[in-house]
């Protein structure tokens, strides 16, 4: 954004590297120092922004729902919130209550809540130059991501074994019990190899050397950055036919969309026939950083022109009155339903 000529202030941790003005209330990320209280510093971080809100023409919020509640105390400047997925149903109440104050962007058309109005879809982008293109298919499949049932690591293992192809899995153990029970017993160091967390060059080499990336999620994917990273290396994707994956993978051209494990097993043999240069070109045209910035600049212009979001439609209001658990997207967590029904407050516009 700064290279495009915008005057940008970044609110982030003190050790962040930015070619812009940096504002910080905490020296490092919460995960870098467990002694830091995330609740305290999240609140201070947000308050630091809104005490300076009058300095800005527009605020772009990537910090989930909490800043929305602060924004309710002021009508300016325009606020744009990118929703990077919904962690659990309850937070929909905050998004609904603040829908008259903040514009919303989704990261895919699939990951939209029918109770909200969206200004734009802004796909995540990568710098393709950070990924080395490999024109020849490898001899193994790869799973890259967090180990959680919704990411389907166990399905990737089953698919690779049934197809008779080696599998390399890499990522962080988001759900340790799931990893220990369903993934670890299958790891033999040969047919199924566990590489731990891989970054930068190791990730690049892993993706580029693969026959294909297996991404058989069990819940609708919100975006799926590893799909884009794999295709940037020329590696096609074997993905579940749901959520955002059909928006990212061009069936038969940059990978295959699969209805089931059986379907995926049958399509493994077809991966080598995918023209890998087409995968790379698809990323460069649609999922680069520059394309992401183009999309955001368009959303900024619309937000500045409109200043405030439009009133909710009757259809959106009807969805807001329904059970929050009854939604098409995949939540990270599904806690128990409350025994009471609480509708989001309807505050009048300023």
- List, for residues 256-304, the tens digit of each pLDDT value: 999 999 999 999 999 999 999 999 999 999 999 999 999 999 999 999 9
**Helix, coil or strand: residue 139:** coil
Would you state the pLDDT for residue 50?
A: 95
Q: Is residue 244 pLDDT above 80, yes or no?
A: yes
The predicted structure's pLDDT at residue 332: 74
Q: CB neighbours (10 Å) of residue 71?
A: 23
pLDDT cut 70: percent of the chain above it: 98
| DSSP letter, residue 1 | -
Confidence of residue 348 (pLDDT cuts 50, 70, 90): low
Instruction: Say what the pLDDT of residue 167 is.
Output: 98
Q: What's the whole-number mean pLDDT along residues 195-220?
A: 95
Q: Check pLDDT > 90 for residue 19.
A: no
Which of 155, 164, 162 has the alpha carbon at shortest distance from 182? Answer: 155
Q: Please say if the pLDDT value at position 349 is more than 60.
A: no
- Tokens 């609904």 locate to 96
Return the sign of the alpha-carbon dihedral for residues 96, 12, 203, 254: positive
- The residue-averaged pLDDT of 157-173 equals 96
Can you list the positions of beta strands (E) in the chain? 9-11, 21-23, 59-61, 79-83, 102-106, 120-121, 140-144, 166-170, 192-194, 212-215, 237-240, 255-258
pLDDT tens digits, 84-101: 998 889 899 999 999 999
Q: At residue 331, does pLDDT exceed 90?
A: no
Predicted TM-score (pTM) of this structure: 0.92
Cα 23 → chain centroid? 25
Average pLDDT value for residue range 123-146: 96
CA distance to 55, 113, 170, 197, per residue, from 200 (Å): 37, 34, 13, 10
């Amino acid at each position: 954004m700064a290279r495009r000529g915008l005057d940008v202030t970044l609110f982030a941790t003190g050790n962040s590297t930015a070619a812009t003005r940096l504002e910080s209330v905490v020296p490092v990320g919460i995960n870098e120092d467990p002694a830091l209280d995330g609740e305290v510093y999240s609140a201070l971080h947000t308050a630091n922004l809104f005490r300076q809100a009058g300095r800005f023409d527009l605020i772009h919020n990537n910090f989930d729902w909490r800043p929305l509640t602060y924004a309710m105390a002021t009508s300016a400047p325009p606020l744009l919130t990118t929703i990077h997925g919904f962690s659990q149903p309850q937070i929909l109440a905050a998004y609904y209550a603040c829908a008259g104050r903040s514009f919303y962007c989704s990261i895919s058309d699939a990951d939209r809540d029918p109770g909200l109005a969206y200004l734009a879809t802004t796909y995540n982008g990568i710098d393709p130059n950070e990924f080395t293109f490999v024109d020849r298919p490898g001899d193994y499949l790869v799973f890259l991501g967090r180990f959680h049932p919704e990411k389907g690591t166990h399905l990737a293992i089953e698919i690779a074994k049934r197809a008779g192809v080696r599998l390399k899995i890499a990522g962080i153990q988001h759900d340790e019990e799931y990893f220990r029970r369903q993934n670890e017993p299958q790891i033999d160091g040969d047919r199924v190899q566990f590489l731990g967390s891989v970054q930068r060059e190791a990730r690049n080499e892993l993706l580029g050397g693969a026959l294909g990336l297996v991404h058989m999620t069990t819940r609708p994917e919100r975006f799926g950055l590893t799909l884009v990273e794999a295709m940037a290396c020329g590696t096609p994707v074997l993905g579940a036919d749901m959520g955002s994956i059909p928006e990212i993978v061009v069936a038969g051209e940059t990978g295959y969309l699969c209805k089931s494990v059986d379907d995926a097993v049958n399509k493994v043999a077809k991966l080598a026939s995918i023209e890998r240069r087409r995968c790379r070109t698809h990323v460069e045209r649609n999922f680069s950083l520059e394309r992401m910035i183009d999309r955001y600049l368009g959303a900024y212009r619309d937000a500045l022109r409109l200043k405030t979001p439009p009133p909710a439609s009757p259809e959106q209001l009807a969805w807001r009155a329904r059970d929050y658990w009854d939604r098409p997207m995949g939540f990270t967590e599904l806690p128990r339903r409350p025994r009471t029904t609480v509708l989001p407050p309807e505050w009048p516009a300023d």
